[in-house]
C-alpha cells in the first residue's frame, strides 16, 4: 500500500518523537539544540571541563561554519565560544572513536587560528584556543577523566611548555565518579532528564524533550537533517550520472531532483 504525503509526514513525526526520547546531550543533534543560544549552559560546562571557575562566556555559536580558505576542507564546530578574555573554545561531542582522531583535533585547532588572524595582524595577536573533544568512549583506555595535550620544549631540562596558546583537551565521556566531571559525564550520557545530576542540564533537556515548543524545535532539526541527507544523496546520484555521460544536464537534474544550476555546477567539476 502506497502512503499518502500526509501519512509519510505523520510516520516521520512519530519516528522523530521516538528518537527524541532516547537522545542524550552527547548526541550531535541534541547537543547542538541544547547549547543553541544557551550561554549559561556553555559556561557551566566549560567551567567544569577547564577548571576555570571564573570563566565568562561572551559569545556562543553552534554549528559554526569555518570556510575561510578557498579549497580547504570546511568544518562545522558543534559549539564555538569566546570568553571575556577573548579565548576561543571549540567544544565537540564525538560518539565514534574515529571522530576523535588526533589529526582531526589538530585540524580543528588550526582552523580556529586561521579564523582569528586577519591580514596585517601580528602573529602574537592570535588568541588562546581550546579544542575540546568530549568522547563517548575512553579512547585512551586508561580510565582517566581528561587528557590535556600541550606542546613542550624537548631540548630543555624539565620539558617546559612551549606556551604558544594552543590547547587540546580530550574528555572521557565514560568516566564516572562523584566529582563534577564524573557527574557531568553521567549527565551527558543520560537520556532521562529526571536522572541528571545538574539542574541546568536537566531543565534544558526537559525543555527539548517535554515542552511543546522545544519538541517542535527538535522535530524541525530532524527534518533539516533528513533534507540534507536527501540532498547529499541526490548530488551523489547526479555525479554518477555525469560520470557515465549518457544523459543531458537537464535529464540528470530532473531524475536526481536537483536544480539545473546545481547540476551545471557539478558538470564543470567533471569537465
pLDDT digits (tens, 9 = 90+) for 75-130: 888 999 999 999 999 999 999 888 899 999 999 999 999 999 999 999 999 999 99
Name the helix (H) or strand (E) containing 261.
helix 260-270
140 vs 259, more confident: 140
Q: What is the pLDDT of residue 68?
A: 67
CB 33, CB 211: distance < 8 Å: no
pTM of the prediction? Answer: 0.84
The answer, yes or no, to whether residue 195 has pLDDT greater than 80, is yes
Helix (H, G, I), strand (E, B) or coil at 249: helix
Sheet of 57-66: strands edge to edge?
57-66, 75-83, 88-94, 129-135, 166-172, 146-149
What's the CA gap between 260 and 249, in Å, rounded? 7
Q: CA angle, corner 42, sides to 36 and 48, nearest 5?
A: 155
Q: Note the Cα 168 to chain centre separation in Å.
A: 16
Q: Work out whether strand 166-172 and strand 129-135 pair parallel, antiparallel, or are unpaired.
A: parallel
Range name among 18-27, 99-108, 212-221, 262-271 with the lowest pLDDT average: 262-271
pLDDT of 93: 95
End-to-end CA distance of the chain: 43
How confident is the model over 221-252, as pLDDT tens digits?
A: 888 888 888 888 888 888 888 888 878 888 88
270 pLDDT above the threshold of 80: no
Q: Which helix (H) or strand (E) holds 90?
A: strand 88-94
pLDDT at 226: 82
Note whether 17 and 216 are within 8 A (CB). Answer: no
pLDDT digits (tens, 9 = 90+) for 147-168: 999 999 999 999 999 999 999 9
Q: Are 108 and 92 in contact (CB under 8 A)?
A: yes
Q: What is the pLDDT, as a whole number, of residue 271?
A: 62
pLDDT confidence of residue 237: 87
How open is the CA angle 112-116-122, to the nearest 5 degrees?
Answer: 125
Q: Provide the pairing of β-strand 88-94 with 75-83.
A: antiparallel
What's the pLDDT at 90? 97
Spatial distance between the Cα atoms of 196 and 78, rounded to a whole number of angstroms: 22
| Structure confidence at residue 20 as a pLDDT band (50, 70, 90) | very high
64 confidence band (pLDDT: 50, 70, 90): confident
Alpha-carbon 240 to chain mean position: 30
Fill in the DSSP letter of residue 175.
-
DSSP label at residue 126: P
| Cα torsion angle, 142, 143, 144, 147, sign | positive
pLDDT confidence of residue 24? 97
- Segment 248-261 shows an average pLDDT of 85
Alpha carbons within 13 A on the beta-carbon side of 8: 7
Amino acid at each position: 500500500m502506497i502512503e499518502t504525503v500526509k501519512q509519510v509526514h505523520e510516520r516521520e513525526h512519530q519516528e522523530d518523537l521516538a528518537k527524541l526520547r532516547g537522545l542524550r546531550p552527547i548526541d550531535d543533534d541534541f547537543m547542538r539544540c541544547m547549547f543553541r543560544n544557551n550561554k549559561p549552559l556553555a559556561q557551566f560546562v566549560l567551567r567544569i571541563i577547564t577548571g576555570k571557575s571564573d570563566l565568562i562566556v561572551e559569545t556562543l555559536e553552534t554549528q559554526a561554519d569555518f570556510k575561510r580558505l578557498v579549497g580547504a576542507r570546511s568544518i562545522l564546530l558543534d559549539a564555538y565560544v569566546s570568553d571575556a578574555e577573548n579565548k576561543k573554545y571549540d567544544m565537540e561531542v564525538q560518539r565514534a572513536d574515529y571522530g576523535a582522531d588526533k589529526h582531526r583535533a589538530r585540524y580543528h585547532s588550526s582552523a580556529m587560528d586561521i579564523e582569528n588572524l586577519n591580514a596585517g595582524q601580528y602573529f602574537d595577536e592570535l588568541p588562546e584556543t581550546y579544542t575540546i573533544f568530549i568522547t563517548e568512549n575512553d579512547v585512551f583506555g586508561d580510565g582517566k577523566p581528561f587528557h590535556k595535550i600541550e606542546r613542550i620544549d624537548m631540548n630543555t631540562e624539565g620539558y617546559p611548555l612551549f606556551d604558544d596558546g594552543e590547547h587540546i583537551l580530550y574528555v572521557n565521556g565514560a568516566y564516572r565518579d562523584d566529582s563534577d566531571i564524573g557527574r557531568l559525564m553521567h549527565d551527558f550520557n543520560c537520556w532521562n532528564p529526571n536522572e541528571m545530576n545538574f539542574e541546568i542540564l536537566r531543565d534544558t533537556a526537559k525543555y527539548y524533550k517535554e515542552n511543546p515548543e522545544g519538541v517542535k524545535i527538535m522535530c524541525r532539526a530532524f527534518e533539516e537533517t533528513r533534507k540534507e541527507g536527501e540532498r547529499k544523496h541526490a548530488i551523489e546520484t547526479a555525479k554518477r550520472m555525469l560520470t557515465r555521460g549518457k544523459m543531458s544536464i537537464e535529464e540528470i537534474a530532473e531524475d536526481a531532483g536537483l536544480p539545473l544550476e546545481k547540476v551545471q555546477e557539478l558538470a564543470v567539476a567533471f569537465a
